[in-house]
A and B are shown apart, each in its own frame.
Chain A
Amino acid sequence: MKYSYYPGCTLKTKAKALDAYARASAKALGFELEEIKDWQCCGGVYPLGADEIATKLSSVRALADARDHGQELVTLCSACHHVIKRVNDDMKNVDDIRTRANNYMQLDTPYAGETNVLHFLEVLRDRVGFDELKKKVVNPLSGKKIGAYYGCLLLRPSEIMTFDDPENPKILEDFIRAIGAEPVVYPYRNECCGGYISLKEKEMAGRMTDTIQASASGFGAEMLITACPLCQYNLNQTVDGLPVLYFTELLAEALGVKEEAMA
C-alpha cells in the first residue's frame, strides 16, 4: 500500500528522527510513504479566521497533490495533521473558502476536500491494525511503563479531527500495548503543553509542563511518548522530568529496525 506523505518543516530539521523511524517502520509493516513533491510548510497553527485564505493554500496544495495521485494523505507531526485536516474540512464544507482558495490555485481540477487525511497512528490502527502490528513485533518492550502524551492538536476539535474520544482517548495506549509495553493512564495526558507560548513566555510554559510531568510520574510512568516535536521540546524543559520520546522510535525498536532507520 502506498500513501502520499507530508513530513513538514520540523521533520526535516530538528525532528529528523521522528520521520526516519516512521519510514523504516512503515517499510517493516508493508506500506510505503511517498513524500509529496515540493510540499510547503503548513504554518504550524490553523488559521482560525473565516476570512483567512492565503494561509491555508499550502495545505490545499498538499491535499490536491494526494488527490491527483489517488492516494490517502499521511501526516506525522501533530501540528501538520491538525492544520491539514481542518483545511480539508473547510474545502469540503465551507463554500466561501473553497471558492476563494480555488480562485487562487487555478488547479486543472478544482479541489473540494476529496482527499482522506490520516495521521500515522490512524494508519497503524485503521489500516494495519494493532493486532497485525503486534504480530510483527520482534522486540517487545516488555516491562516498560509508558505514559502517552496526546496534547491538544490531534484531539480537538473532535468534531473535525475525529481522531479519538477527546476526553478519554486510547489510541496511544493501544499502541503501547501492541508493542508489548504497559500504558500508564494519567489525568493530564490531553492537557496543553503551552504550545507556541514557550517562545516568549518560558515561565508560563514551564508551569504547564511541570504539571503534566508530575501527573505522569505520579501515576508511575517511566517515560512519555508524543507525536509532536513542540510538545517534546516543551516537556523537555521540565528539570528532572521523564524522558520524552517520539512514538515512532519505540515502534522502530519493537519492529527491530531502529538501527537501520538512522543509518
Chain B
Amino acid sequence: MLKFKRVTLFCGHYGSGKTNIAVNYALWLKSAGLEVRVADMDIVNPYFRTKDSEKELGEKGIELISPQYANSNVDLPALPQELYGVFQVKDKYAVLDIGGDDRGAYALGRFAPLILEENNFDCFFVANYYRPLTRTPEEALEVMREIEKAGGVPFTGIINNSNLGDETTAGAVEATFERAAKLAEISGLPLVMTTVREDIAPEVSGENVMPLTLQKKYY
C-alpha cells in the first residue's frame, strides 16, 4: 500500500501523464480518509489541465488551486497567491501537478525551500517510455536531472506510466518493465508503481499496478 507524505509532487517529461496521475492520487488520498488539496502548478501547458477535473474533484470534496487564467483564452504563466497556503498551512495533504520538463519545473523553484524545510514530501518522476524523447532509461534520467536542477526538489521515486493512449495494451505496458527497472537502477530510486488505464490494469502483471481513471473526451 501507499504511504502518503504530506506533500506529493508529480514531475516528468512533457505529456508523460502527470496531470491524470495527480488527479487520481488525490482521489486515493481522499478515499483513505485524508483531507487533500490539489495544486495545478503547470505554467507551460495551455490545454488539458487539472482544471478539466475541477467538477469531479469538487464533488469529492477536494479543493483545487489553479492559476486564475487556466483554461481561459489568455496565456499568462502566473501562479496564484493561494499556492503559498498549500505549503504554509499544513492542515491538509497536498498534491502538486508540476509542468513538464525543466521548463515546467522552474515554477517549483520558489517553493522548494519550503518543501525541503518541512521535509515531509515525495517527489515522483513520471515516465512514459512511449514518448519520443524518453524512449530509453538513459534519456529519462537526463530529463530527471534537468528537472531536479530547475525545480530544486530531489526525486524520491519513479512511476512507470508507459502508455499509447487509446491503443494501450497490457503487452505494451509490460514491454516497458525492463526499461523501468533499469531507470530505477541507474537513478538509485525505487519504482513506486506502474499506472495503467483502469480497463486494462487487471490484465497487467507485475507488482504495484495502479488503475487510473481518465478524463472523457468526445472527439
- A and B: partners? no
